[in-house]
Amino acid sequence: MKTKIALIGSREFIERIEKSIPYDLNSIELVPYMYDEPQEASKLMKNLTPCDAVLFSGALPYFFSQQECRTFTVPVLYLEQDETALVTSLLYILHHHGIEPDRVSIDLMDRSLIDHAQSDLHLKNPPRYVMDYKESLPHNFHINDYTEFHQQLFQDGQTEMALTSIHAVYDRLVELHIPCMRMIDPAKSLIRAIDEAHSQSLLSKRKAATIAAARLSVQDLEGEQERIHELARLMKGTLQKNEDDASYTIYSNRGSIEHFLESTDFHEHPMLAGFGYGHTATEAEANAEIALSFARKADSNGCAFILNEEKELSGPYPDKSKKQHLKNDTPEMLSLAKQLTLSPANLSKLVQFYKSRSARDFTAAELSDYMQITRRSTERILKKLVDNGSAKIIGEEMTYAQGRPRAIYELTFPIY
């Protein structure tokens, strides 16, 4: 299956990608989302269909979407502006327009790029008119400030051309008939950013598959048996009773454990637990035991710690200071449920199921197990989604020598 990367940028950026980078990239599928101004990027985040990574066209749209990015479980990156883009653009202006760097007004993310370019190239006429937006993001940034910066310098005769890294500023300068150019993103930089998003996606999936163990301390064994088995199911793990003390171990993977720690069930019913990650089951179990000892010291009534394979300890969980919206009863969710002809409860479970996985594809059997409903009910839900275009069948798997192959599904509606 190809790695699906969501590209968020201006129309010009998307067109640049289409012209300079073939869409039939090996093992990568690029899905574009376009905005008119970078502030609109945060709204686009709510329209993203399931993907393996998100790549922004630059720092501006990324910073305006930081709050939305915090809820994403896939890697989120942006194309970083560097000296290569700056120098390439200045050389283009000098070669094609004969304008020296000191007669060009420039806006960019960080003015230190100018200093680096000057230090490396020993420019005789380095850029003098520079405005950056590093310190103004995201709350004090106003597009008009940058348009007026270029406009004023040109009208005063101090510059002959404007070089902007903001496509919306370029459009406004064109309307004002001010000579201008967009910062050039070299094709090599674009390819490097896409390759990095691809690599981060694969790394994230490998990390999610790291072996994990959960040590649960239970005092009232008789009354907790059913609860323990339910926890093992929620963690997608295998339960084992420890004979030497009143504790259980659940073996699972990192992705499933981290999703469980964010779930409603854990926040409403905290337990005394230690979670350990490791390269082997033995290492994960040993780390879980150490984490459990910290949980006992912190709050014997119920909390959890995590110790990973790098011996980094985190906790306690749940984080009392971290407010979480655990109900999917927002107007957007209710509207989506109506659009998909699903109950809000089933839609909520479906979204949580999808977010708990490191892979985009799934089978009806996997969804049925997660939602705790019959296979027939699950298939009815999936048929409804496929019929209205909210899911698609992307393949089949044969698990037995006889019988029908199982359909493999992928959701196609926004889940973030």
The confidence band for 157, taking pLDDT boundaries of 50, 70 and 90, is very high
* Dihedral sign of CA atoms 301, 307, 313, 315 in order: negative
The confidence band for 415, taking pLDDT boundaries of 50, 70 and 90, is confident
Which residue from 190, 165, 170 is spatially nearest to 180, judged by alpha carbons?
170
Confidence check: pLDDT of 263 > 80? no
Model pLDDT for residues 207-254, shown as the tens digit of each residue: 888 999 999 876 554 566 777 888 888 888 998 887 766 678 999 999
CATH architecture entry for 83-182: 3-Layer(aba) Sandwich (3.40)
Positions of E strands within 11-153:
28-35, 53-56, 76-78, 104-108, 129-132
pTM of the model as a whole: 0.73
Pairing of strands 180-182, 76-78: unpaired
The confidence band for 319, taking pLDDT boundaries of 50, 70 and 90, is low
| All structural domains of the chain with their residue ranges | 3-79+188-206, 83-182, 210-317, 331-411
Q: Residue 30 in contact with residue 49, Cβ under 8 Å?
A: no
- H/E segment holding residue 227: helix 221-234
pLDDT given for residue 406 in this prediction: 84
Q: Residue 256 in contact with residue 212, Cβ under 8 Å?
A: yes
Cα angle: 213, vertex 215, 221; to 5 degrees = 135
Q: What is the pLDDT of the chain when averaged over all its residues?
A: 86
Q: State how far the Cα of 167 lies from the Cα of 107, in Å rounded to an integer.
A: 11
Q: Residue 151 in contact with residue 178, Cβ under 8 Å?
A: yes
Rounded mean pLDDT, 165-179: 95
Please give the structure tokens belonging to residue 23.
Answer: 């869409």
Query: How large a percentage of the chain has pLDDT more than 90?
Result: 44
CA atoms within 13 A on the CB side of 256: 19
Locate tokens 């990568």: which residue?
28
The confidence band for 23, taking pLDDT boundaries of 50, 70 and 90, is low
Per residue in 323-345, is it b (16+ CB within 10 Å) or e — as a string?
eeeeebeeeeeeebbeebebebe
The confidence band for 177, taking pLDDT boundaries of 50, 70 and 90, is very high
The strand order across the sheet containing 304-307 reads 238-242, 247-253, 211-217, 273-278, 304-307, 313-317
CATH topology of domain 331-411: Arc Repressor Mutant, subunit A (1.10.10)
Alpha helical stretches, state H, 314-363: 331-340, 344-355
Model pLDDT for residues 129-149, shown as the tens digit of each residue: 999 998 888 788 899 999 999
Q: Residue 213 in contact with residue 249, Cβ under 8 Å?
A: yes
Confidence check: pLDDT of 183 > 90? yes
* Chain center to CA of 132: 26
Helix (H, G, I), strand (E, B) or coil at 72: coil
Which residue from 107, 68, 70 is spatially nearest to 86, judged by alpha carbons?
107
Give me the long-range contacts of 392-400 (CB less than 8 A, separation at least 24): 394/1, 394/361, 395/361, 397/363
* Dihedral sign of CA atoms 30, 32, 37, 42 in order: negative
Indicate if 210-317 has the same CATH topology as 3-79+188-206. no
Locate tokens 């502030």: which residue?
39
Which residue from 109, 96, 123, 115 is spatially nearest to 183, judged by alpha carbons?
109
CATH of domain 3-79+188-206: 3.40.50.2300
* Superfamily for the 210-317 domain: Reverse transcriptase/Diguanylate cyclase domain (3.30.70.270)
